[in-house]
Amino acid sequence: MSPIKVGDSIPDGFFSFFDENNSLQKAAVHSLFAGKKVVFVGVPGAFTPTCSSKHVPGFIAQAEELKSKGVDEIFVFSVNDPFVMRAWAESYPENKHVKFVADGSASYTHALGLELDLTEKDLGIRSRRFALLVDNLVVKVANLEEGGAFSVSSADEILKAL
């Protein structure tokens, strides 16, 4: 499958996550994104070096500025189970706006066409690193990284596009 691109409708699928009451939820992507401007950030793995020290902290630090430019929601997404994603979210006590969602089976990653095979590194199939700006289910910006790069998917790059 070819990777998602600008102008595409975001595919529907499901995320698992823990809500503000610490209850495990499963929700359709379209129900979470419809009628909203969403920054959707994909990372290869929770607690991995670049994801944890650079990529996600940038979105947490700049969440207020993103919201001031019309962003309704910010989601961080990874091929991990929801329990790992909850623990990862809890490792950022300063976070007030970024929501962490899981794609435990990589099925949504496949629907996006953004699989990254890290089997040789004992990580299995993961998501490529990316940052999408989605407005009412339509991709307006698609900053997709190659391999382990981190050059186009930062919060700064999304802010430039707003």
List the domains of the chain with CATH numbers: 14-18+25-161 (3.40.30.10)
Q: Tally the C-alpha atoms within 13 A of residue 1's C-alpha that lie toward its C-beta.
A: 14
Provide the pLDDT for residue 116: 72
Residues in the chain with pLDDT values less than 70: 119, 122-124
In the residue annotation, 53 being an active-site residue is answered as no
Residues in Cβ contact with 63 at an 8 Å cutoff, skipping those fewer than 6 apart: 74, 95, 96, 97, 98
| Residues written for the chain | 162
Cβ count near 12 (within 10 Å)? 14
3-state secondary structure of 156: helix
Using alpha carbons, list the distances in angstroms from residue 24 to 21, 27, 99, 113.
9, 10, 13, 26
Q: Output the pTM of the full model.
A: 0.94
Provide the pLDDT for residue 130: 95
Provide the pLDDT for residue 48: 85
Residue pLDDT, tens place only, 80-92: 999 999 999 999 9
The pair phi, psi for residue 91, each rounded to 5°, is -75, -5
Active-site annotation holder among 46, 51, 98, 118? 51
